Structure 1
């Protein structure tokens, strides 16, 4: 019986000539490229202050349509701080978010352990938070967090009209609305809205600079100036005021400028790629039609059956589909796809050939 080997799949993926997702390997070249044409005599920031970092923060605040913004070394830090500020302001340490929010499943209960904040989980794990969920919250909360797109269920999005209704309801009830916009740039083509038009619905906004943008690390927290000034105090308390953050925000600025206008291309390519997957036996995508540059691929096979199929296709075609598989149950598994610069570099005929072989091999093993 075949035993799965995650390391072998990962090594085979990165050994292929082309990988379908991402921007390329995260290596030192990513940083070198960002700094290649920088003036080495520019003064660095110090403890979050200085012309370079302040100009970048102002630039992103304007892009998001917010009064002010603060650069953080991590989104985890930024979001916990945002929720703490809103809870302190309301005098109520309860917030609401999705059961598969990053704060709930990836942060080792940081919100609870560091801030004593109790989360109220809305909706179930398999669907988005809807207006009815917000209107019928079982307890009073200081803040509602919405993640756009909802990554853990394939990057699904609500209709923009429903976002407007949720925003209006929260404002009527004095509930602060925070946007987990880790992938905010990625959803602009679907909504056909500017970032500012989306962010105006929210009291505070977090965006990431290493996901779709492809920077080294770091995040922005934006909102009214009083909010961001308080966030700076909490950033110091969290140890986020490094002596210098310039490797992070200068690379963020470089890749933001490089890729900010490419997300419509990535979105169209994601829809094309999803269609290729859907023509393979036993394969579905979630959502069926992607609403951003990312989606999940679900395959009706156990990992132990699918892994050797993928390894064979990688070896024969030089195309890498994924570097990992996650088990849903004993007979199903899935992986995430996120389109970046890589996809456009691959010859179309090579993609077509790889999917024809994948479909043939899956047809032999999918019942």
Structure 2
């Protein structure tokens, strides 16, 4: 949940352990999913859902065969691509995708947003490991427009679009805007890669199927622990030759693990369990956002969520809000928020709301009542 104040750490209790115990002990949770102990997670994977997802009486995978290959086939089918490759991390998948396209196009310049994941959360691996560099078609907190892509003053070889753009507030363009942006890149002889870590929940906004969305790009990356609740892992999807090249680089980057069945099984369970529920999550996010927007000084962004995730801002410090979050969880056994962090706006902190299964039982009145209690804890 982010920062903790001195009174929390002074107790001698590990802050992460306190968070885990507080949220796990709650009867009701608005944002995110209930944390599980190791025993609970193992029982979940070996239980009914795990057995429905894959034959658990078979042998474990060895260097990417068996259950790993089954997941790759499933992802390719879901996205409508020729092939897919499983990766242990999204960071590795992203770096391999950009590297492969640079080799194929002969151009190491990538157009992306300054808030894109490789710029903010990957320690500039694309430049440190490959010598690639980036150009920003726009710095506005949204995806670049077709005009901005067309007018970019450097000849990039790959356009990378993060759908949704998480650090701008999980924002998306319209379908027509996205199609126009892709076409603008094509007219510049560039390939298009979608950072689709959260692509799964974009169908309601675009009004298109996953194959239609993925079909706009030359390659797509998807995550299994974001949205789907998996343990870890990601996949690249695209043409057969591109995926074969990606697997070669996956090996070189250390991603050819001996066995990966726990993460892969969790991904298959997530596809079975969570994918059919995403429309309901996205729809209910609008109800939750409207209820939270009534908080004095509070702000929801986007005002109407475009996925099942959005930002919520309050005029307090992150330490104050994190402590109030834990106190409410411990004292009333209901928790509204995950972690808070201080924002660039002085005096305001923000949290990311994820409307998943536990949130579906919350009515507008439930959110308002719990929010009132939460604000009381802030004094």
- Fold conserved between structures, TM > 0.5: yes
- Structure 1 residues 1-367: aligned runs within 5 Å: 5=8, 7=15, 10=19, 12-28=22-38, 29-37=40-48, 38=51, 39-50=55-66, 52-124=67-139, 126-303=141-318, 305-307=320-322, 309-311=324-326, 313-315=328-330, 317-328=332-343, 329-345=345-361, 350-358=366-374
Mapped to 1, the partners of 2:366 and 2:206 lie a distance apart of 32
Q: Which stretch shifts more, 57-66 or 320-329?
A: 320-329
Q: CA deviation at 1:204?
A: 0.1
The answer on whether the counterparts of 2:292 and 2:367 sit within 8 Å (CA) in structure 1 is no
Q: CA deviation at 1:132?
A: 2.2
- Helix, strand or coil at the partner of 1:212: coil
Deviations 1:230-257 (A, max 9, x none): 0010011001011122222122112211
Mapped to 2, the partners of 1:217 and 1:358 lie a distance apart of 32
* TM norm structure 1: 0.91
Deviations 1:60-92 (A, max 9, x none): 101101111111111111111011011111111
Mapped to 2, the partners of 1:16 and 1:230 lie a distance apart of 47
The answer on whether the counterparts of 2:86 and 2:235 sit within 8 Å (CA) in structure 1 is yes
Q: CA deviation at 1:306?
A: 4.0
* TM norm structure 2: 0.88
> Structure 1 pair 219/87, CA: closer, same or farther in 2 (3 Å)?
same
Mapped to 2, the partners of 1:276 and 1:3 lie a distance apart of 32
Deviations 1:163-191 (A, max 9, x none): 11111122222111000000011111222
Say how many residue pairs are matched: 361
> Unaligned regions of 5+ residues in structure 1, if any?
none
Mapped to 2, the partners of 1:251 and 1:303 lie a distance apart of 32
- Helix, strand or coil at the partner of 1:145: strand
> Structure 1 pair 141/259, CA: closer, same or farther in 2 (3 Å)?
same
- Helix, strand or coil at the partner of 1:261: helix
Q: CA deviation at 1:308?
A: 5.3
Q: CA deviation at 1:316?
A: 5.1
The answer on whether the counterparts of 1:34 and 1:255 sit within 8 Å (CA) in structure 2 is no
Q: CA deviation at 1:102?
A: 1.1
Deviations 1:277-322 (A, max 9, x none): 1111000111010000000001123335545554554455432122
Mapped to 2, the partners of 1:199 and 1:247 lie a distance apart of 27
> Structure 1 pair 359/160, CA: closer, same or farther in 2 (3 Å)?
same
Mapped to 2, the partners of 1:5 and 1:136 lie a distance apart of 51
Mapped to 1, the partners of 2:333 and 2:69 lie a distance apart of 45
Match of 2:12 in 1: none
- Helix, strand or coil at the partner of 1:242: coil
- Helix, strand or coil at the partner of 1:205: strand
Deviations 1:124-171 (A, max 9, x none): 153332222211112111101100111001101101101111111222
